[in-house]
């Protein structure tokens, strides 16, 4: 019985912070805008409306606490907002205004973009792989560390301008940056059926 | 067009999605008949999926399924009382960050739609046939339960010859391997195989015990390792540096181990600079790192290791004094196929002397590990579902998207984009190592599990929600675990629930807190908490 009492107490404590995180993250990004880049013309991606978005977040019940656990982002001060655009796997463009010092994984998770951080943002996997759209912006960024490059080596769809989201901290110099989430769709290949 | 019950249920899920849900959930799962109203009209009932295995493949599949279908009800079967598979028992204790994926798994399991059924070994304790009538789809994610053998003389007869898998299980508290008791009183260890598991074993053998003791490594392993006299480790491969399977992170760690030097790789086995500069990025970086080696001076480092290339194990030998205990390994020398020596897929040919005899090398070994890969086995009874296990590749035959296919065309024929035919077995899926073979990191398993989950969701949508994939329309009871439970009870099984695991988890963390470790794994089931949970019945065998 003592155990259950403990569990009960612990459980009661969690949602408070979860709620705070959640409302914070919602408040800051009320000015999201949705545009369809049309880059995945074959798939006929329809632009999603904010209403649909709301529906999605409500539907994915258990990922709510994910934001509590990972998406710690700070509200940008007025006049110090940094603009960033994500292009998700469907080719949909989403703009955010964020604060200096937040990393791309936290920003993506706080906004329910489809980006995993399997290792919790500790640079021990490659699931938060992003592709910087503009090579000049990539050159403006700090060089990735050996550890980050080691993980990027295992990333699916690695490019010349690939980074790990958890290792990219937002700075004023990166204002207006566009990053793409790599598509993980694969087509059947003959090698799938071969003996190795 | 959902029934009233389901709408209410969905709202509950949202409201209960924070951790407090657990408390309510456990009340419900103690009386599972209330978990789901079985009198809901069949045509409107949610899809029921059984996942066999609760490692990364099982959990990432469940995560994706629930993200795509909020109404799906999943029962996850696990043969051990505790979840997480290789994340708990395979990931090295000094890589705690890799286990952070468990945070996500905990969240997924806190969903009311996922029901964990631990301590039930499907196929062995509970026949697969008992599951089939109650599900719409079955997803196999049970991984690779065995390891590949070398098949050389001495492997199964000499003492202190171990599977790397067993050694990994031993230091991680795997219930099947906790009694391994390797003899580390000698000085030289030989590991055959050059993948990440081999480097894990080497690293654990060469690491400073004071570093390891702060991890969740088992106490008995720390005790044994602190008495270890191993100071030289050979990691031996059949092919060359470019064909080695380890990844760069693990190699870098080995090259940075304090007090451990690395033997420079001889020039004649190392690819020339002209080849390295033309390699793809990942291979190029590994070769550059290997070429650089370690900055630790062999003269001042008490321990050392080497990567030994182009050696195929021939036989294991004892010494005249201890004929039953391994003391050396005989290797046959190879050379890279001169027609294509510098690609990751290069083959080797036997290396012979001028007189035409095969060259051999002997390496002393006071302990020996084979680490040439894991292997999946067919689950007993899968043939009753029409599945022919691919024994050659050691996987469940599938279409690359996780749909299990029939090698003998027993299934539903479908066209592939390239025009060929494939024979699907409807309602049967696989993910993880049992799907694509035992390679890749957790991130690869995640991608792979997502692919399979997407296939299931697609197939359900295509089939019309009222129809079960596994059965002809409306032939599945749709009861899931509620339908299976009676049979499990009859067989005397004592399942553990998610709440049981939370109690174990809590206890492990509490014990860890007392000794400055993240957790102390309860590696035997002979502890009070297990007796409390399972009532002192049979737990493990």
How far apart CA B97 and CA B215 sit, in angstroms, is: 11
Check residue B534 and give its pLDDT.
64
Alpha helices (H) in B231-389, listed in sequence order: 248-255, 273-276, 281-292
Question: Is the pLDDT at A28 greater than 70, yes or no?
Answer: no
* Residue B40, pLDDT score: 40
Q: Report the mean per-residue pLDDT for chain A.
A: 70
Q: Residue B529: its pLDDT value, please?
A: 72
Of A127, A149, A150, the CB nearest to B446: A127
When pLDDT is averaged across residues B474-478 and rounded to a whole number, the result is: 77
CB B432 within 8 A of CB B445: yes
CA distance B356 to B190: 28
**pLDDT tens for each residue of B31-59:** 333 344 444 434 578 999 999 999 999 99
How high does pLDDT run on average in chain B? 88
pLDDT over 70 (residue B409): yes
Kindly state the tokens that stand for B181.
Answer: 């008791």
Q: Checking DSSP bridges between strand B260-262 and strand B146-147, what pairing results, if any?
A: unpaired
Instruction: Identify the structural domains of chain B with CATH numbers, from first to last.
Output: 12-145+376-497 (3.40.50.720), 146-332+360-374 (3.50.50.60)
Cβ distance B443 to A11 less than 8 Å, yes or no, reads: no
What are the C-alpha distances in Å from B71 to residues B11, B19, B32, B41, B48?
11, 19, 17, 15, 9
What pLDDT is stored for residue A41 in this prediction? Answer: 30
| Element (DSSP H or E) covering residue A93 | strand A92-98
Across A29-33, A66-70, B77-81, B535-539, least confident range? A29-33
Q: Which of B146, B137, B145 is nearest to B402 (CA)?
A: B137
Q: Is the pLDDT of residue A68 over 50?
A: no
Overall average pLDDT of the B242-253 stretch:
96
Query: Which residues in chain B touch residue A127, judged by CB atoms under 8 angstroms apart?
Result: 443, 446
Residue stretches of the annotated binding site of B for FAD: 57, 78, 86, 122, 433, 440-442
Instruction: Indicate if the pLDDT at residue A27 is higher than 70.
Output: no
CA A81 to chain B, closest CA, distance in angstroms equals 30
Q: Which residue of B has its CA nearest to A59?
A: B70
CA closest to B391 among chain A residues? A195
As a whole number, mean pLDDT of residues A12-28 equals: 34
Q: Of the candidates A45, A153, A133, A55, which has an alpha carbon nearest to the alpha carbon of residue A89? A: A45
Nearest to B501, CA basis, from A14, A7, A48: A7
Contact between residue B232 and residue B188 where contact means Cβ atoms under 8 Å apart? yes
Q: How many residues does chain B have?
A: 541
Contacts of B383 (CB under 8 A, 6+ apart): none
Residues of chain B found within 8 Å of residue A153, distances taken between Cβ atoms: 247-248, 281-282, 285-286
* Inter-chain CB proximity B104 and A186 less than 8 Å: no
- B342 with B306: CB under 8 angstroms? no
pLDDT at B412: 79
Give the H/E segment covering residue B86: helix B85-89
Question: What does the alpha-carbon distance between residue A111 and residue A109 come to, in Å, rounded to a whole number?
Answer: 5
Contact A62, B59 (CB under 8 A): no
> In DSSP terms, which residues pair with B440 in a beta bridge?
none
The secondary structure of residue B82, as a DSSP letter, is S
Contact of B367 with B230, CB cutoff 8 Å: yes
Give the pLDDT of residue A74: 85
Higher confidence at residue B298 or residue A192?
Answer: B298
B264: burial class by Cβ within 10 Å (0-12, 13-18, 19+)?
middle
Strand ranges, E, within B44-180: 48-52, 73-77, 114-117, 137-140, 146-147, 161-163
What percentage of chain B reaches a pLDDT higher than 90?
76
Three state DSSP letters for A4-30: HHHHHHHHHHHHHHHHHHHHHHHHHCC
Dihedral angle at the C-alpha atoms of B30, B31, B34, B39, nearest 10 degrees? Answer: 130
**Tokens encoding A75:** 């509200």
Query: Which of B210, B201, B214, B279 has the alpha carbon at shortest distance from B241?
Result: B279
Closest CA to B124 of B505, B519, B488, B498: B488
B328 to B181, B232, B238, B368: CA distances (angstroms): 20, 14, 17, 9
Strand partners, B429: B139, B403
pLDDT class for A185, splitting at 50, 70, 90? low
Measured CA distances, B407 to A21, B164, B388 (Å): 51, 32, 6
Q: What is the pLDDT of residue B466?
A: 58
Bridge partners, residue A82, by sequence: A98
What per-residue confidence (pLDDT) applies to A19?
A: 36
Q: Among B12-21, B120-129, B514-523, which is the least confidently predicted range?
A: B12-21
Instruction: Beginning with the edge strand found earlier in the chain, give each strand of the sheet holding A129-132 in spatial order.
Output: A34-36, A92-98, A82-87, A177-180, A129-132, A162-164
Residue A70 has pLDDT above 80, yes or no: no
| B481 pLDDT more than 80 | yes
| Alpha-carbon span B128 to B136, nearest angstrom | 14
Higher pLDDT, A83 or B476: A83
Q: Tell me: the pLDDT tens digits for B196-232? A: 999 999 999 999 999 999 999 999 999 999 999 999 9
Q: Is the pLDDT of residue A55 over 60?
A: no
Widest distance between CA atoms in chain B? 85
**Which bin fits B154, alpha (ψ -120 to 50), beta or left (φ > 0)?**
left
How do residues B485-494 score in pLDDT, each as one tens digit?
Answer: 999 999 999 8
A159-179 residue pLDDT tens: 999 999 999 999 999 999 999
Give me the DSSP letters along B387-415: ---BTTTTB--B-SSSEEE-TTS-SEEEE
Distances (CA, A) of A107 to A128, A168, A170, B183, B384: 11, 11, 10, 50, 48
Of B14, B249, B502, the CB nearest to A61: B14
What pTM, to 2 d.p., does this model score? 0.82
**Does residue B251 carry a pLDDT above 70?**
yes
Q: Which residues of A61-92 are buried (b: 16+ CB within 10 A; e: fewer)?
A: bbbbbbbbbbbbbeebeeeebbebbbbbbbbb
Minimum CA–CA partner of B105 in chain A:
A118
Cβ-based contacts of B285 with chain A (< 8 Å): 149-150, 153
The answer to whether the CB atoms of B282 and A184 lie below 8 A apart is: no
Name the closest residue on chain A to residue B68, using Cα atoms: A60
| DSSP letter for each residue of B329-370 | EEEEEEEE-TTS-SSTT--EEE-B-TTSPBPEEEEE-SEEEE
Q: How many residues does chain A have?
A: 196
- A156, B416: Cβ pair inside 8 Å? no
Q: In 3-state terms, what secondary structure has residue B428?
A: strand
Decide if B246 contacts B198 (C-beta within 8 A). yes
Higher local confidence (pLDDT), A10 or B74: B74
Q: Could you say which DSSP state residue B229 is in?
A: -
Closest chain A residue to B112, measured at CA: A62
Best mutation site among A61, A63, A71, A181 for testing chain B: the one with the most B CBs within 10 Å? A61
What is the pLDDT averaged over residues B4-11?
Answer: 33
**What pLDDT, on a 0 to 100 scale, did the predictor assign at position B357?**
92
Question: For residue B498, what are its two tokens?
Answer: 């998610």
Are residues B17 and A153, on separate chains, in Cβ contact within 8 Å? Answer: no
**Residue A21: what pLDDT?**
36
**Three-state SS for B256?**
coil
Domains parsed from chain A with CATH numbers = 2-184 (3.10.20.30)
Displacement of CA B266 from its chain's centroid (Å): 34
Q: For A104-163, what is each residue's pLDDT tens digit?
A: 999 999 999 989 999 999 999 999 999 999 999 999 999 999 999 999 999 988 999 999
Chain A interface mutation, best of B2, B14, B17, highest count of A Cβ atoms under 10 Å: B17
% of chain A at pLDDT higher than 90: 48
Measured in angstroms, the CA of B108 and the nearest CA of chain A are apart by: 6
Least confident of B231-235, B459-463, B530-534: B530-534
Per-residue confidence band for A76, with pLDDT thresholds at 50, 70 and 90: confident
Mean pLDDT of B321-334: 97
Binding residues of B: 57, 78, 86, 122, 194-197, 238-239, 250, 433, 440-442
Instruction: Summarize pLDDT for B160-180 with one digit per residue, the tens.
Output: 999 999 999 999 999 899 999
Burial (Cβ within 10 Å: 0-12, 13-18, ≥19) of residue B528: exposed
Q: Which of A2-11, B196-205, B527-536 has the highest mean pLDDT?
A: B196-205
**Which residues of B are part of a known binding site for NADP(+)?**
194-197, 238-239, 250, 440
Task: Look up residue A166 and give its two tokens.
Answer: 């958890």
Q: What is the C-alpha to C-alpha distance for residues B35 and B28, in angstroms, rounded to an integer?
A: 6
């Amino acid at each position: 019985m003592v155990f259950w009492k403990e569990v009960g107490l612990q459980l009661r404590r969690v949602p408070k912070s979860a709620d705070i995180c959640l409302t914070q993250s919602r408040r800051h990004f009320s000015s999201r805008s949705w545009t369809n880049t049309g880059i995945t013309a074959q798939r006929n991606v329809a632009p999603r409306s904010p209403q649909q978005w709301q529906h999605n977040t409500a539907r994915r019940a258990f990922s709510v606490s994910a934001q509590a656990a990972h998406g710690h982002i700070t509200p940008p001060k007025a006049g110090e907002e940094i603009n960033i655009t994500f292009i998700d796997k469907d080719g949909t463009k989403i703009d955010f205004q964020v604060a200096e010092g937040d990393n791309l994984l936290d920003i993506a998770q706080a906004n329910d973009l489809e980006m995993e951080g399997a290792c919790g943002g500790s640079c021990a996997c490659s699931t938060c792989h992003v592709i910087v759209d503009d090579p000049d912006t990539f050159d403006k960024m700090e060089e990735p560390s050996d550890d980050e490059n080691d993980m990027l080596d295992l990333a699916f769809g690695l490019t010349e301008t690939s980074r790990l989201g958890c290792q990219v901290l937002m700075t004023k110099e990166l204002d207006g940056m566009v990053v793409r989430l790599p598509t993980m769709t694969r087509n059947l290949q003959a090698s799938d059926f071969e003996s190795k | 067009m959902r029934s009233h019950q389901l709408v209410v249920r969905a709202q509950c899920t949202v409201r209960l999605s924070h951790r407090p849900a657990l408390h309510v959930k456990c009340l419900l799962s103690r009386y599972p008949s209330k978990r789901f109203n079985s009198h809901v009209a069949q045509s409107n009932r949610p899809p029921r999926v059984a996942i066999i295995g609760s490692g990364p493949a099982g959990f990432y599949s469940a995560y994706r399924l629930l993200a795509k279908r909020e109404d799906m009800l999943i029962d996850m079967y696990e043969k051990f009382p505790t979840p997480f598979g290789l994340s708990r028992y395979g990931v090295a204790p000094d890589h705690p960050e890799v286990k952070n994926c468990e945070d996500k798994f905990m969240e997924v399991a806190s969903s009311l739609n996922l029901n964990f059924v631990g301590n039930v070994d499907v196929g062995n304790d509970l026949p697969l046939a008992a599951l089939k009538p109650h599900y719409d789809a079955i997803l196999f994610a049970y991984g690779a339960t065995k390891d590949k053998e070398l098949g050389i003389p001495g492997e199964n007869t000499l003492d202190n010859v171990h599977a790397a898998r067993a050694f990994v299980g031993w230091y991680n508290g795997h219930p099947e391997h906790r009694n391994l008791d390797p003899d580390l009183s000698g000085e030289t260890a030989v590991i055959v195989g050059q993948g990440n598991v081999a480097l894990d074993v080497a690293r654990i053998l060469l690491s400073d015990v004071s570093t390891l003791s702060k991890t969740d490594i088992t106490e008995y392993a720390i005790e044994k390792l602190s008495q270890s006299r191993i100071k030289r480790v050979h990691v031996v491969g059949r092919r060359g540096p470019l064909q080695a399977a380890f990844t760069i992170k693990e190699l870098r760690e080995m090259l940075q181990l304090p007090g451990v030097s690395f033997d420079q790789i001889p020039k004649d086995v190392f690819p020339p600079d002209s080849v390295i500069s033309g390699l793809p990025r990942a291979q190029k970086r590994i070769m550059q790192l290997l070429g650089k080696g370690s900055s630790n001076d062999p003269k001042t480092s008490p321990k050392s290791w080497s990567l030994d290339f182009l050696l195929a194990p021939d036989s294991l030998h004892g010494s005249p004094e201890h004929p039953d205990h391994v003391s050396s390994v005989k290797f046959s020398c190879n050379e890279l196929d001169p027609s294509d020596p510098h690609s990751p897929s290069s083959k080797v040919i036997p290396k012979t002397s001028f007189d035409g005899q095969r060259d051999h090398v002997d390496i002393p070994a006071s302990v020996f590990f084979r680490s040439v890969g894991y292997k999946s086995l067919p689950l007993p009874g899968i043939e009753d579902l029409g599945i022919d296990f691919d024994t050659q590749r050691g996987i469940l035959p599938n279409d690359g998207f996780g749909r299990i296919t029939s090698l003998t065309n027993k299934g539903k024929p479908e066209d592939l984009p390239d025009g060929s035919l494939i024979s699907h077995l409807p309602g049967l899926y696989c993910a993880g190592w049992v799907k694509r073979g035992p390679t890749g990191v957790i991130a690869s398993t995640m991608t792979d599990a997502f692919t399979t989950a997407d296939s299931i969701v697609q197939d359900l949508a295509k089939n019309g929600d009222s129809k079960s994939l596994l059965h002809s329309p409306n032939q599945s009871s749709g009861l899931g675990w509620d339908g299976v439970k009676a049979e499990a009870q009859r067989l005397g099984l004592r399942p553990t629930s998610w709440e049981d695991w939370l109690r174990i988890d809590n206890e492990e963390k509490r014990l860890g807190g007392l000794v400055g470790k993240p957790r102390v794994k309860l590696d035997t089931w002979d502890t009070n908490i297990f007796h409390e949970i399972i009532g002192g019945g049979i737990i493990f065998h």
